[in-house]
Amino acid sequence: MLALLSVSKQGRQAVRGFGSAAKTLQELWAGGAPLTQIVTESHGRAAKADRHEWVYLAPLEQVTAEAATLEKRAASLSEEQRKLELPLLGSTFAVKDNLQVKGMPITNTMDYRPPRKAPIAEESAAVVRKLQERGAIVIGKTNMDCAATGLVGVRSPYGACQNSLDRSMISGGSSSGSGVSVALGQVTFSLGTDTAGSGRVPAALNNIVGLKASRGLVSTHGLLPACRSLDCVSIFALTVHEAHRILGAAAEAAGADPFDRPAK
């Protein structure tokens, strides 16, 4: 019951524009880079983004402080405990701007100028909170077709998101920024949504993996709905293995979503 598209062979190539840092974040982590370096690198890449993929970036000092706290917690655990409690340690992620992240603005790409004038989320969406508890760090909120009603990625007051492979091409939508940010190596993975293709289309057009889980497997509590009975949270990653790993951490009923159901 999984919809998977386009295993990426481009992930290694996509970061060549970053000069001496031309490695994926996964490669840096596997090579022994500390978490604070991973987060700083990820944030720096996002800050240099120029394809209208981001709506809001968390302050660098905030995400590095989160990384330092996680490093201390990880150091206090045995290797077995780290794998169990913090399976996503070393990961950064982006969140589509129709999902709430506590303390960050949520625009749904309505015309808030600047985006920080949008309402500030008082709590995180259930899936965001779950991934943070597992050790992943949110870098920021990504661009999308307005109110998640489009499949092209150009219907946003914050700019038409450009394809990661060719700027003259559409990125696909509505989860445009979430797809492009992963394809360009700015974050380890990202969250989008999929009601009628909004997660799978950007994945296909940017040559990455798009995963839409069965309805109710990943809670939509904290998502601004496009179609309440069809909305699903989707996952963008560079490989099928990574998408499956993220799904394993995200799939847990939150209780507040009437469509929630336990994984079997």
- Name the active-site residue from 171, 174, 176, 181: 174
Could you give the count of Cα atoms lying within 13 Å of 148 in the half-sphere of its Cβ? 29
- Name the active-site residue from 23, 96, 130, 141: 96
Residue 258 sits at the vertex; the CA angle it makes with 139 and 144, to the nearest 5 degrees, is 35
Which structure tokens are listed for 122?
């008082």
- Name the active-site residue from 190, 198, 219, 234: 198
Tell me the DSSP string of 176-217.
HHHHHHHHTTSSSEEEEEESSSTTHHHHHHTTSEEEEPPTTS
The single-letter code of the amino acid at 145 is D
Q: Known catalytic residue: 212?
A: no
Q: Known catalytic residue: 198?
A: yes
Q: Known catalytic residue: 174?
A: yes
CB 249 within 8 A of CB 130: yes
Of 200, 201, 219, which Cα lies nearest the Cα of 263?
A: 219
Which sequence positions are flagged as catalytic? 96, 174, 198
